């Protein structure tokens, strides 16, 4: 249990206040309990004691990214990758950060490398597809979403992204309302109930198919549950659907999730 682990780490730190391993592992426990500020303090302290610990840069970068401190996160990923250049997960993380900063070509470089290192990683293909979509390279975006789903047929994010492009793409060659609806409905079945981003895509698909009553109803649900910072674009789309107009912009609405699953943070097994 995480409470027991936290107590064990605190006992170890009381015994040896310079034990960077215990401090680092306490940071992970604190992050998993939602105490992000205290976790960051512990990661800072860890790196002051052991400035070469790649896993600490990785974990601190993930927490900084979750707080929207993307440039600081990028610096941490850079330090980690200097030591672990062939770590696919680090390449994916840095690609996320570069994407958030609008550095598409650099982000693509990291995503391409992540896929070279881990060619079965469905998430990497889906994320690269998002970047291609924002760059207007819709053919490659669709291909990456399809590859992602071939590797993981239970990914709500890949289905959502595919649905979004097929529903909202300004290029009619890639706009397929019926396929968009099918993908969005699949995402809704796979995602947690009421996921606002999936609802947003489902509403866009209904609007693209001319089913505006359904689009309005679903988009109202999305607006009601929109995370901080997303209410305005969600509401703008709702206003369009109320005017019986579809949304057309495949590069918008593909909001980048900066959250982090604290369970993904790593603990070093031994002193390095």
**178 assigned to some structural domain:** yes
Could you tell me the two tokens for 28? 């992970």
222 in any annotated domain: yes
Q: Measure the CA–CA gap between 164 and 174, rounded to whole angstroms.
A: 11
CA gap 111, 70 in Å, rounded: 17
Q: 61-85, pLDDT tens digit by residue?
A: 999 999 999 999 999 999 999 999 9
CA pair distance 15, 142, nearest whole angstrom = 56
In-domain check, residue 198: yes
Average pLDDT over every residue of 8-12: 82
In a domain, 22, yes or no: no
pLDDT in tens, 188-229: 999 999 999 999 999 999 999 999 999 999 999 999 999 988
pLDDT of 27 higher than 90 = yes
Q: How far is CA 68 from CA 74, 127, 259, in A?
A: 11, 18, 9
Per-residue model confidence as pLDDT tens digits over 83-119: 999 999 999 999 999 999 999 999 999 999 999 999 9
45 part of a folded domain: no
Q: How many independent structural domains does the chain possess?
A: 1
pLDDT, position 269:
56
pLDDT attached to residue 252: 52
Per the domain annotation, does 270 fall within a domain? no
Q: What is the pLDDT of residues 131-185, one digit of tens each?
A: 999 999 999 999 999 999 999 999 999 999 999 999 999 999 999 999 999 999 9
Please check whether residue 131 lies inside any domain of the structure. no
Q: Output the domain CATH number for residue 170.
A: 1.25.40
Is 166 a domain residue?
Answer: yes
Residue 241, phi then psi, degrees to nearest 5: -65, -35
Q: What range does the domain containing 168 cover?
A: 159-255
């Amino acid at each position: 249990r995480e409470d027991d682990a936290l107590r064990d780490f605190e006992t170890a730190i009381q015994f040896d206040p310079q034990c960077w391993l215990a401090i680092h592992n306490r940071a992970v426990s604190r992050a998993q309990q939602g105490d992000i500020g205290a976790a960051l303090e512990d990661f800072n302290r860890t790196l002051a004691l052991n400035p070469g610990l790649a896993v600490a840069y990785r974990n601190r970068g993930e927490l900084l990214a979750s707080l929207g401190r993307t440039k600081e996160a990028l610096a941490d990923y850079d330090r980690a990758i200097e030591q672990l250049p062939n770590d696919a997960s680090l390449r994916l993380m840095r690609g996320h950060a570069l994407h958030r900063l609008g550095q598409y070509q650099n982000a693509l470089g990291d995503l391409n490398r992540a896929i070279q290192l881990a060619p079965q990683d469905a998430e990497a293909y889906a994320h690269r597809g998002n970047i291609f979509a924002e760059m207007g390279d819709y053919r490659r975006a669709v291909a990456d979403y399809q590859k992602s789903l071939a590797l993981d047929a239970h990914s709500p994010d890949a289905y959502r992204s595919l649905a979004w492009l097929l529903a909202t793409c300004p290029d009619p060659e890639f706009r397929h309302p019926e396929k968009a609806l099918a993908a969005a409905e699949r995402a809704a079945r796979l995602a947690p109930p009421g996921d606002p981003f999936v609802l947003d895509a489902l509403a866009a698909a209904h609007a693209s198919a001319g089913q505006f009553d359904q689009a309005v109803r679903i988009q109202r649900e999305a607006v009601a549950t929109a995370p901080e910072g997303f209410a305005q674009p969600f509401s703008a789309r709702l206003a369009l659907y109320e005017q019986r107009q579809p949304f057309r912009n495949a590069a918008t609405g593909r909001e980048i999730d900066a959250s982090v699953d604290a369970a993904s943070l790593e603990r070093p097994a031994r002193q390095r």
